[in-house]
Amino acid sequence: MTDHQHSTAADRSGADATAEDTTAEITTASVTTAEVTTASAPSRTGEGDGDTPVVVVDDVHHSFGSGPQAVHALRGVSFEVRRGELTALRGRSGSGKTTLLNLVGGLDTPTAGRITLDGTDLASLDEPGLLALRRDRIGFVFQSFGLIPVLTAAENVGVPMRLRRMPAKEREERARTLLALVGLADHAEQRPGELSGGQQQRVAVARALANEPDLIIADEPTGQLDSETGRAIMELLRAVVRSESVTILVATHDPNLIELADRVVELRDGRIVGTDTSAAGA
């Protein structure tokens, strides 16, 4: 993912920030609070039906720019993300993984085609509706962790719950429960700078789970970690799929991580060239 894309996704999700972005991030979060509390997420039409896919991507095209200079990042992509599964999106750099994740996460709008999340057509939502969807129904995990440096681990996990105006006591209890779930019970009061990369990504996973999302979207979550720590993060994601009944869509081009997925969708030059369900998690 390029830097310009990353900041766009970060600004719009309100979940990702680098050290330099802190002030902007907090400002974004404040603005977002005002905006999103006026909107409610659309109802979950598919919830409870184990056979209904959480995500349906139907003949999606996406281009950047127009005319002869246009970059056709996605060229007719169709696939489903099944409930309770860990789906890996695999492909070389530039194959369109981040573009696709941004569209599924409601961070960008496809040039053509349809994306539904739990039965809701994303095209039917206005900006407040998309904000509410991202706040209430999707958890985001980024390569760069995206924690707010001045907040403790527990406070970082609490951010999505604050945006939902969850009462402080309830929020703090849930943040501690989630930190324990990711193996960081003893690190709740530490700030990101006092944690290793792997621990920071665990905090980010706990934060992504905060609002009991239907879907977690993870873009190269192990990209900044050594292979052993990266593997541990993937195993954590694998574990929360089971224990929290969450669905995960993760982009990676790390072949070592693919084996933990239930389903692998292979993207090449903006097209799906294969879907494999023979991975170990299946």
Ligand X SMILES: Nc1ncnc2c1ncn2[C@@H]1O[C@H](COP(=O)(O)OP(=O)(O)OP(=O)(O)O)[C@@H](O)[C@H]1O
Q: Indicate the burial class of 184 (C-beta count within 10 angstroms; 0-12, 13-18, 19 or more).
A: buried
Q: How far is the CB of 166 from ligand X (least distance, A)?
A: 33
Helices (runs of H) and strands (runs of E) counted in the chain: 9, 10
Q: Which is nearer to ligand X, 8 or 22 (CB)?
A: 8
The residue from 38, 69, 93, 243 that contacts ligand X (CB under 6 A) is 93
Regarding 61 and contact with ligand X (CB under 6 A), the answer is no
Regarding 253 and contact with ligand X (CB under 6 A), the answer is yes
Side-chain half-sphere exposure of 3, counting CA atoms within 13 A: 3
Regarding 32 and contact with ligand X (CB under 6 A), the answer is no
Residue range at the interface with ligand X (CB under 6 A); choices 79-87, 93-101, 198-206, 229-237: 93-101
CA-CA-CA-CA torsion sign (280, 92, 247, 231): positive
Regarding 96 and contact with ligand X (CB under 6 A), the answer is yes
Regarding 98 and contact with ligand X (CB under 6 A), the answer is yes
Q: Which is nearer to ligand X, 167 or 255 (CB)?
A: 255
Q: Which is nearer to ligand X, 46 or 105 (CB)?
A: 105
Instruction: Classify 42 as helix, strand or coil.
Output: coil
Centre a 10 Å sphere on the Cβ of residue 280 and count the other Cβ atoms it contains.
Answer: 10
Regarding 198 and contact with ligand X (CB under 6 A), the answer is no
Q: Which is nearer to ligand X, 111 or 190 (CB)?
A: 111
Residue range at the interface with ligand X (CB under 6 A); choices 90-98, 118-126, 146-154, 229-237: 90-98
Regarding 64 and contact with ligand X (CB under 6 A), the answer is yes
The residue from 14, 91, 139, 192 that contacts ligand X (CB under 6 A) is 91
Q: How far is the CB of 7 from ligand X (least distance, A)?
A: 11
How many residues bind ligand X (CB under 6 A)? The answer is 14
Regarding 5 and contact with ligand X (CB under 6 A), the answer is yes
Q: How far is the CB of 219 from ligand X (least distance, A)?
A: 7
Closest CA to 79 of 254, 277, 242, 216: 277
The arrangement of strands across the sheet holding 55-64 comes to 71-81, 55-64, 112-117, 120-121
CA gap 178, 172 in Å, rounded? 10
Q: How far is the CB of 95 from ligand X (least distance, A)?
A: 4
User: SS3 for 70-111, per residue?
Assistant: CEEEEEEEEEEECCCCEEEEECCCCCCHHHHHHHHCCCCCCC
Give, as ranges, the residues between 163 and 182 that touch ligand X (CB under 6 A).
none
CA gap 169, 57 in Å, rounded? 39
Helix (H) or strand (E) holding 258: helix 255-258
Side-chain half-sphere exposure of 277, counting CA atoms within 13 A: 6
Q: Which is nearer to ligand X, 5 or 33 (CB)?
A: 5
Give Cβ neighbours of residue 116 (< 8 Å, ≥ 6 apart).
55, 56, 58, 122
Which x/- pattern over 66-85 shows residues binding ligand X (rule: CB under 6 A)? -----x-x------------
Regarding 191 and contact with ligand X (CB under 6 A), the answer is no
In the complex, the residues that contact ligand X under the rule CB under 6 A are 1, 5, 64, 71, 73, 91, 93-99, 253
